[in-house]
Amino acid sequence: VVDISPPKSQQRSRGMAMIGIAFSVGFILGPMVGAAFSVYGVKALLTTSSYPFLLPALFALVMASLDVLYLWRSLPETLVEKNRASSIGDGLRSAVDLINPVSLFCFSSVLVIAKEKDRRSARLLGLINFLYVLIFSGLEYSLTFLTHDKFNYSGMQQGRMFLFIGTIMALVQGGYLRRQPAGSEKKTAMTGIAVLIPGMLLVGLASSAWLLYFGLALYSFGAGTVVSCLTTLISEYGNATEKGRVMGIFRSLGALARAVGPALCCSMYWSVGPFICYSVGSVLFIIPLLLLRRV
């Protein structure tokens, strides 16, 4: 998307939103398919009830394998041969900065960001992305625990809940985010984070299904806006030859947060309960919100 769209254009913002829409569609279909397999697959294929999640796992494995095959067959290599590493050893040595968390936060492997102010802004956006995804992924991961503990939701009911979330996200990205003018990404991302704060509080406080779903609607708005807008913002940094590296570091920080966030949040959830867990998470969203004002 970055390669085929001019910088600071509405075309780029819309392209990022399209990626978000694709994610949302998957978010709609995936949980429903998984829930259906876990509920009906046991009866249909006479699988023992001791392994109710075997079929969803196999389905995910097949889909991921098909995805890799499609990418391998359909997308050409974009790195020209003269720019490739001469050996595996050289490639591994140059990859050290890409797997070292400290180097990731510093964007050390990005060689060409002309202005020191731009480098500081890129680092700040990376930190904002990490903190946001850290908090968001942790609370998102514990949603299934909360709905099962407080409302005794079955797998199918949780699938319907994720269908609701994915539908709202798709509507927000397709109907709202794609219509935002170029240059409004920072404001839109701040709005998304601000909406998440009461949304997560309501989810933690919810004692009825309607209050839960009202909180989830606010949560879905934030989920559908923030990452797409932050990705568009970071895409403005670095020259044409290093866009991929900048974007890769940014996404790697998000992946690192997704690895750490669920463990931290679930530890809090099972130690102090959902109310305190979601209240603390909501308050912590203020940190990336305030940092984003400085970009």
Q: In this predicted model, what pLDDT tens digit does every residue of 235-249 receive, in sequence order? A: 888 777 777 788 888
Question: 221 — phi, psi (to 5°)?
Answer: -60, -45
Look at residue 166 and tell me whether its pLDDT is greater than 90. Answer: no
In this prediction the pTM is 0.80
Look at residue 44 and tell me whether its pLDDT is greater than 80. Answer: no
pLDDT score at 36? 74
Round to whole Å and give the CA distance between 30 and 181: 31
Residues 199 and 216 sit within 8 Å (Cβ to Cβ): yes
Look at residue 185 and tell me whether its pLDDT is greater than 60. Answer: yes
pLDDT score at 51? 66
pLDDT score at 55? 76
Q: Who has greater pLDDT, 166 or 20?
A: 166
pLDDT score at 59? 82
- CA 245, 88, 69, 4 torsion-angle sign: positive
Q: Who has greater pLDDT, 135 or 156?
A: 135
Round to whole Å and give the CA distance between 108 and 129: 17
Residues 183 and 233 sit within 8 Å (Cβ to Cβ): no
Q: Who has greater pLDDT, 52 or 102?
A: 102
Across 83-101, average pLDDT = 68
Q: Who has greater pLDDT, 222 or 20?
A: 222
pLDDT score at 158? 86
pLDDT score at 148? 92
